Amino acid sequence: MSYLLEAVTSTAADLGANKILAINLVVGERTSLVDDAMTFCWDMLAHDTLAEGATLNIRRTRMTFHCAGCATDYPPEGANFDCPSCQAIGQMNDDGNELLIESIEIRS
């Protein structure tokens, strides 16, 4: 989380912001981060920085599977990981594990 804070505050400083109002994050659903824990951690880290009091907006991306048999990418249906086209069992794509800063909202 601290690298995130550094990235956000340095971007905001470059933009001449006095305050960061909100941070929009994209988080893969496979990350172990829990929204409540992130928000709590964030409030502590952001204390006395430009980001103090900023709202964390967290958007989860869905993981997808790839079927080698018919080259289809598909999101799993609940606990069913089979390919919807040919019912083969696909491989999990190496995504759904990211943490990206989509945008920030600032006041200058």
Chain contacts with Zn ion (rule: CB under 5 A): 67, 69-70, 72, 83, 85-86, 88
Q: Which residues pair with 60 in a beta bridge?
A: 27
d(CA 45, CA 48): 8
State in angstroms the smallest separation of the CB of 83 from Zn ion: 3
State in angstroms the smallest separation of the CB of 76 from Zn ion: 13
Task: Decide whether 85 or 103 has the Cβ nearer to Zn ion.
Answer: 85
Tokens (6 digits) for 17: 């912001």
d(CA 42, CA 104): 15
State in angstroms the smallest separation of the CB of 1 from Zn ion: 38
d(CA 54, CA 104): 10
Strand spans (E) along the chain: 19-28, 55-61, 65-67, 72-74, 91-92, 99-107
Task: Decide whether 63 or 99 has the Cβ nearer to Zn ion.
Answer: 63
State in angstroms the smallest separation of the CB of 70 from Zn ion: 4
Task: Decide whether 50 or 67 has the Cβ nearer to Zn ion.
Answer: 67
Task: Decide whether 31 or 72 has the Cβ nearer to Zn ion.
Answer: 72
